[in-house]
Amino acid sequence: MNSQTITADAAGIWKLGDLPVGRIGFGAMRLTGSAAFHLGTPSDRARSLAVLRKAVELGVNHIDTAAFYFSSLRSANELINRALAPYPDDLVIVTKVGPHREYSGEWGTAARPDELRGHVEENLRQLGRDHLDAVNLRRMRTYDSIAEHFGALADLRDAGLIRHLGISNVEPRHLAEAQAIAPVVCVQNEYGLHRPDPATDELLRICGEQGIAFVPFFAIAGESGPQGPVGDGGDEVVRAVARAHDATPAQVRLAWTLRQGPHVLAIPGTGNPDHLAENVAAGALRLTDDDMARLDALHRQRE
């Protein structure tokens, strides 16, 4: 695959509410440094800015970020603001709230419902915007029900600070709980060829039936997980399919993810311009039915 000539249009379009986005987006977490964004050496600033601008040049119009994506010297939101403002009219920036980090980088307690307005306003300030296109509530383990937290975000939506709402790290019951309060346009859960989960499979199905975008994160992490090398070769089945298509294992993982339904959006992140082009080009990789059967069998084996 000639990754340098393929744009995000190859993957097709879906909508977050009324906002059309390409099915290959960009996750901003890695712009700050390592996969864990609070560990390791901060990223090169000029390179991170170049990656963001290159993403837009390649047709990416969906960026996933958060105010808590920062390292000792880098803030993902600030980099996005500096690289892309004034923002293209079709660019959709999705943020998330729920986790809380001190400025020292240490994790604090999960945000209370009454603290979410401050988190939303911090995203607005860092991004230089007067409203957020979409905000995901990331469910934390310290609370089982999301009703109170999601209700607080729904109030901010009614106040005009947020256009659309989503949820993250949830089970099917949480989607129903949120929908009783306000419309949900996207669901974000960890999901990929490497990490099957029956509850997430059910969410994937429900979202497809209801036209809700399903946005998996860590979709191209290999067997070593999100903290290890991204898109590593992993199982020989993945490597064999990659060789057959002159593609990389990461591209195969992304292509498999996109084949899970037209409502599935991918948000691979990278601080490497070449990896960015490869990720975008994965939207043009057409796996055969035989490829999918082999990869699906591999996915099921890991359950």
Nearest alpha carbon to residue 221 among 13, 69, 47, 35: 35
Cα separation, 110 vs 222, in Å, equals 29
Q: DSSP H helical segments within the chain, as ranges?
A: 45-57, 76-84, 116-127, 147-158, 172-179, 198-210, 236-244, 249-258, 273-281, 289-301
Q: Please say if 103 is a catalytic residue.
A: no
- Phi first, then psi, for residue 242 (nearest 5°) are -60, -45
- By the 8 A CB rule, do 195 and 218 touch? yes
What is residue 164's three-state secondary structure? strand
- 186: closest CA among 3, 11, 15? 15
CA distance 215 to 267: 7
Tokens of 205: 């199905």
d(CA 106, CA 157): 29
Q: Would you name the residues annotated as active-site residues?
A: 69
